Amino acid sequence: MRVLVVGTGAAGAMAAKKLSAAGHEVHVLEAGDPFKALTRKVMHAGALRRTGLLGSERTISRLFPHMRTARSGDLVMVRGAGGCTTISCGNILPADKGLKEIGLDLSTEFAEIIESLHLCIVPRERWRPTTSQMFDVAQEMGLNPALTPKALSQDRCICCGMCELGCAMGARWDSRAWVEEAMASGAQVHYGHEVRDVMIEDGHAVGVHAVTSSGVTTIKADRVVLAAGGIGTAQILRRTGTSISDTLWIDPVFTFGGMKKESEQLDEMPMVWYAKKDDYIISPYLDLLSHFFQPAWRKVGIDDRVGVMVKLADEANGHVDADGNVEKALSGKDEASIKEAGELVEDIMSGAGVKGPITLGMINGGHLGGTVPLHREEVVTMHPAVLPENLWVADLSLVPRSQGMPTMVLAAAIASRVCSAVEKSDQSD
C-alpha cells in the first residue's frame, strides 16, 4: 500500500514511523525545509530590541527563520516548519481533556510513547534561585506544583534557556528522531512539498497536489494521511472541498513578565515545574518572543526579566479558511481564566521577590486543533464521516477540546491510533 503522510511534527512523524514499520510504501511530504537550530547569536539583536527597530511580531520570521506568524485580533499564531517538537521545551505530559466523553481511551498509546522517550526531570540544583523560590511560593499557596517530565538528555543539556529556537546541542528529543526511524524502514521524505489539496475520485482519495520549487506536482497514493497541524490540515481540507467545523482551538500560551535583578532564567531549562488548574497550567518560562517584540518588555534586560507562562484551554470557536487565515477570538470565559491566572502568577512572583509592573506578553496560539472533531460513533474507525474514503486525519484536528497542557504526546497517540485504523482498512479492502 502506498501512503502519503503530510507533515513531520509529532503526529506526522509517528504516522510515518508506524506505517513504514508495517511494510507500507510511505512518502512523507513536508512543506518546510529541514530544521536547523539557532544559537545565542540571536541575542546580538538586543540593542535593536531596546530601540523598537525590530518592529512587531510580523518581523519574527526575520530573526527566527523557523517560525511563521499570523495574527487574529489579540492572538499571534506561531508555526514552526517541521512541527512544534523542534521548538518545544521537551515537556511530556499525557493530556486527554474531552476524549473520555466520546469514549476514546488512549492510555495504551500514551504508555508506549512515554516509555520509548526515557523521560527525566530537571533537578533543583540546576534551577536558578528565582525559579526555585517561585516553586516554594506555589507550594505555600496550595497549588501543588510538580516537576515537569521531559524528553531530555541531561548530560548534553547546557541549560541555555533557548529551547524555542531549537536545541543546538541535540539534548532534547524532537520528532525528527521518529522521521529517521521511518526512513530506516524505507520511508522517503520530500521537503519543500506544500500540499494544497487532496485529489478525490468517486468519493475516494487518490493522491495530492503539492507545490514545489518546480511548480505544482501530482502525487498518487492508495491512502492519504493528513498531519499538517491545526491550520495546515484545515486549510488542505477546505481546498479539497471537505466540510470542516468552525471549532478551532489554539491552547493560548502567554507569559507574565516581572523584574528581579540577576534572575538569569536563560541559564536554566524552561518550564522545570508546573502547577495545574482546571483550565490552565502555570510554569516558569522566559518568553523570548515577547522579550524582543512586545513594547512593554523592551526596557528590562534579559538577565533581569522573570517570566511565568500560562497555557490555557480555550473555547473551540475559531475558523480557518482555504488560504490558512485564522479568525479566533478569546471568549468571555477565556478572558476570565486569563484574569484568574494572572492574579495567581502575580502572587507567585511577588512572593519570590519579583517586582512589577507585571506585564502580559504576546498571546500566542501554540497548539491548534479541533476542526475535524471526532464524535463518539466515529471512535472505532477513527474516520470522521465528513472525510472521503482513503483520506485520514491523524493530528490534533480530531481532538474536540483544547487541553491547556503540552500536547506532543497527545498528537502522537492520536496518530498511532489512526494508523491502526488505516491498517484495518487495508486488510478489509
Give the Cβ contact number of residue 180 at 10 Å.
14
Q: In this predicted structure, what is the pLDDT of residue 70?
A: 56
Q: In this predicted structure, what is the pLDDT of residue 85?
A: 84
DSSP 230: H
First to last CA, the chain: 11
Q: In this predicted structure, what is the pLDDT of residue 75?
A: 52
Q: In this predicted structure, what is the pLDDT of residue 54?
A: 41
215 exposed, middle or buried (CB, 10 Å; 0-12, 13-18, 19+)? exposed
Q: Could you give the residue ranges of the DSSP H alpha helices within 22-168?
A: 46-51, 60-63, 107-117, 129-140
Beta bridge partners of 259: 305, 355
Give the Cβ contact number of residue 103 at 10 Å.
13
Retrieve residue 185's grid coordinates: 524502514
Q: In this predicted structure, what is the pLDDT of residue 132?
A: 98
pTM of the full predicted structure? 0.91
107: helix, coil or strand?
helix
Q: In this predicted structure, what is the pLDDT of residue 55?
A: 46
Measured on CA atoms in the order 418, 419, 424, 426, is the torsion positive or negative?
Answer: positive
Q: Which of 271, 267, 284, 403 is nearest to 345 (CA)?
A: 284
DSSP 263: -
Distance CA 9, CA 412 (A): 9
Beta sheet of 2-6, edge-to-edge order = 188-191, 25-30, 2-6, 223-226, 391-393
Q: Which of 337, 160, 349 is nearest to 254 (CA)?
A: 337
Q: In this predicted structure, what is the pLDDT of residue 50?
A: 44
Residue type, 132: S
Distance CA 420, CA 424 (A): 6
Q: Which CATH architecture has domain 2-428?
A: 3-Layer(bba) Sandwich (3.50)
Q: In this predicted structure, what is the pLDDT of residue 52?
A: 44
Distance CA 240, CA 227 (A): 15
Only one residue has cell 500560551, namely: 253
Q: Which residues contact 244 (CB under 8 A, 6 or more apart)?
A: 234, 237, 238, 320, 371, 372, 386, 397
What are the sequence ranges of the domains in the chain? 2-428
Low pLDDT (below 70) residues in the chain:
37-83, 292-293, 428-429
CB 134 within 8 A of CB 284: yes
CB 53 within 8 A of CB 210: no
CB 333 within 8 A of CB 247: no
Distance CA 100, CA 109 (A): 14
